[in-house]
Amino acid sequence: MLMKHGKLTEWTKSSYSAVNGDCVEIKAAGRNTVAVRDSKDPQTGVLGFTAPSWTAFLSDISRSSQR
């Protein structure tokens, strides 16, 4: 799920969502923060990541999926 951080003004569901739509959603939560929540229970809470940490996380997942 690669995208420009500044374009995430609304909650965006992962393109890897299950058929029933249960997955994670992300959005920009400030100038340099990415917010992540559970799409099936969004009231539970939000995790915040710095943009560089989020980019590194996505990079690690991408490398793992290519193995």
Q: Walk along the chain (67 residues) and give the pLDDT tens digit of each residue.
A: 444 545 667 888 877 666 666 788 889 888 888 999 988 888 889 999 998 898 898 899 888 777 6
Q: Which secondary-structure segment (H or E) carries 27?
A: strand 24-28
Report field, pTM of the whole predicted structure over 0.75: no
Question: What are the tokens at 61?
Answer: 């997942």
